[in-house]
Chains A and B, each alone.
Chain A
Amino acid sequence: MPKEPEISLTEKTFVLEALKQNLRVDGRDLQSFRDIQLTFGDDYGFVDVRLGKTRVLARISAEVTKPRPDRQFEGMFTITTEMGPMASPVFEIGRPTELDHTLSRLLEKSIRRSTALDVESLCIVTGKRVWSLRADVHFLSHDGNLTDTACIAVITALAHFRLPVVTVSGEDITIHSVTERVPVPLSLLHWPICVTFSFFGEDEGGDMVCAIDATAQEEALRMGDMTVTVNKNGEVCQISKSGGVAVEAEVLMRCARLAAGKVKVVDKLIAEALREDEVRRNKGNLDWLKEGKSENER
């Protein structure tokens, strides 16, 4: 697939000039996300996140396996991200781009490395049987800022997922189906949320123009970017600014504080959406315990 066509010079100067005067092509101010829409599916652990035109699906699935020999008492949790030509013609199956690697490393550091999910709670019988959780992230449409959308999707899916109840009697383990016992939520210690800043060089006053949640066009024009992962109680889980234009330390700190504030807003929004889905799920279909799948009307 040919490389993404270069942005034309006129477009480039127009957008940069607007940014320098604190204006954005889509009318947002520099420090705000596009509107985030979370829609849930039939089964637990599935969420479709829309951030403006960017759209990402995340699905959590669980299976019982033997634990890793060096981690007898811990369950396993892997995140797989794969960008296909559906998201944008630039991506090809089988040939991971630089964005692929950066994104999977970022999710790894933000969610797995910062122990958002307590893997010890996934242990059924130490050394023999543990839950192995897998988060599949599918990129449906790429209009910039895949990192933040993917992170929000995985965190929401984890919070939405329900693990079937397991009873252990002696050697044999019985996994109760969804209808026998109400499944139990995962134990999430904290909700790390990524906020990506894009730097567009200095305006007349000499200070750096930085914006949150850049669209694909803005991403093509930015001179540098930084991703800060924060949770709502002000702990910074990871920062990665890998190159790009040099930015004053003071500006980076300001961005980190701004990110902490923003994360509180996003955090509330996710909690709100989860509660709404819970209400809809219980009200809608009292035949939850009846035969067959839940049939909630759309």
Chain B
Amino acid sequence: MEGLRNDGRRWNELRRIHCQLSTSSTNADGSSYIEQGFTKVLCNVTGPAEPSNRQRVKQDSATVSCEVYFAAFSGTDRIKRGRNDKKVQELQTAIQKTFSSIILTHLFARSEITISIHILSQDGGTLAACINAATLALIDAGIPMTDYVCACTAGQSTSIFDNEGASPDPWLDVNYLEESDIPSLTVATVGDSEKIVALSMENKVRIEALEAMIAVGISGCARVRGIMDKEVRRYGKEKLEAEGE
């Protein structure tokens, strides 16, 4: 395999990203849809609005709450993930905490911003796609944030050091097959800076290889931001032209 992966991509090639803003504009303040390869995620944002239950009200800032719904047909195994399924809970907490530090919550005291995410199809990098979709939906909802939050996955092809200690060559944006085969991690950065908001890795990796994977992940995030930014500007231009007349 001279440097090509099973879906024909080179090691540093992102899967095709198609993103779209305000897909369902009537029932949500902001909405977005993103496709990264075959991972497809739909996101609706409502808020800042009256909080639904009382004790989650914070006096000096808005509370960000998140709900994630896995479509039963989204994965290879048709399982219905209920409300207190551990994986769903983990995703919800990760997204909620990521955006609580990014959104300027102090502007909307005692209100609630709800991010609801529907995962239509999973082909690896589910957490990354959810974070990107949430960023776009928040921008579409006009909720002030310090910067984009872009996420990307990175894997490491040679999981163990081959004997002559060749440096591990990391892969960018792993799909489901690669994710279940080689160790991989998801990293989310603030805009195209090097600052990491979220980092999650579930398999065993040598500590030396870790640095290379994170570096590749961050560069992937910068490029994802570029693509998302292009789409936001295109959408903005289209909206302004209509109004401009």
* Chain A interface (Cβ < 8 Å from any Cβ of B): 3, 96, 98, 101-102, 104-105, 108-109, 113-114, 223-224, 226, 230, 234-250, 252-253, 256-257, 260
Contacts of A237 in B (CB 8 A): 203-204
Contacts of B86 in A (CB 8 A): 101, 104-105, 108
A-B pair number, CB within 8 angstroms? 109
Find out whether the CB atom of B185 lies under 8 angstroms from the CB atom of A98: no
A114-B204 CB under 8 A given contacts A223-B101, A243-B98:
yes
Find out whether the CB atom of A252 lies under 8 angstroms from the CB atom of B196: yes
Checking A101, A109, A252 against B214 with a beta-carbon cut-off of 8 angstroms, the contacting residue is A252
CB distance from B7 to the nearest CB of A (A): 26
Checking B89, B95, B202, B207 against A238 with a beta-carbon cut-off of 8 angstroms, the contacting residue is B202
* Chain B interface (Cβ < 8 Å from any Cβ of A): 55, 84, 86, 89-90, 93-102, 185, 189-190, 193-207, 210-211, 214-215, 218
**In whole angstroms, how far apart are the Cα atoms of A114 and B84 in the complex?**
23
Find out whether the CB atom of B196 lies under 8 angstroms from the CB atom of A246: yes
Find out whether the CB atom of A243 lies under 8 angstroms from the CB atom of B197: yes
Find out whether the CB atom of A257 lies under 8 angstroms from the CB atom of B196: no
**In whole angstroms, how far apart are the Cα atoms of A12 and B211 in the complex?**
34
Find out whether the CB atom of A242 lies under 8 angstroms from the CB atom of B94: yes
Contacts of A257 in B (CB 8 A): 207
Report the 8 A-B pairs with minimum CB-CB distance, sorted nearest first.
Answer: A243-B97, A246-B195, A243-B98, A242-B94, A101-B89, A241-B199, A246-B190, A239-B201
**In whole angstroms, how far apart are the Cα atoms of A228 and B15 in the complex?**
29
CB distance from A219 to the nearest CB of B (A): 14
Contacts of B101 in A (CB 8 A): 223-224, 243-246
15 contacts between A and B (CB under 8 A): A223-B101, A234-B207, A235-B205, A236-B205, A236-B207, A237-B203, A238-B201, A238-B202, A241-B196, A241-B200, A248-B194, A250-B194, A252-B199, A253-B214, A256-B207
Contacts of B204 in A (CB 8 A): 114, 235-237
A96, A241, A253, A257 — which one has the most chain B CB atoms within 10 A of its CB?
Answer: A241
Find out whether the CB atom of A246 lies under 8 angstroms from the CB atom of B205: no
**Interface class of chain A by DSSP:** mixed
A101-B93 CB under 8 A given contacts A236-B210, A243-B101, A247-B196:
yes
A114, A235, A239 — which one has the most chain B CB atoms within 10 A of its CB?
Answer: A239
**In whole angstroms, how far apart are the Cα atoms of A252 and B197 in the complex?**
11
Find out whether the CB atom of B201 lies under 8 angstroms from the CB atom of A248: no
Find out whether the CB atom of B194 lies under 8 angstroms from the CB atom of A243: no
Find out whether the CB atom of B214 lies under 8 angstroms from the CB atom of A249: yes
**In whole angstroms, how far apart are the Cα atoms of A252 and B202 in the complex?**
16
Contacts of B98 in A (CB 8 A): 242-244
CB distance from B29 to the nearest CB of A (A): 22
**In whole angstroms, how far apart are the Cα atoms of A223 and B100 in the complex?**
10
Contacts of B198 in A (CB 8 A): 241-243
Checking A114, A239, A248 against B185 with a beta-carbon cut-off of 8 angstroms, the contacting residue is A239
A243-B99 CB under 8 A given contacts A3-B55, A108-B86, A249-B194:
yes
**In whole angstroms, how far apart are the Cα atoms of A241 and B185 in the complex?**
11
CB distance from A229 to the nearest CB of B (A): 9
CB distance from B88 to the nearest CB of A (A): 9
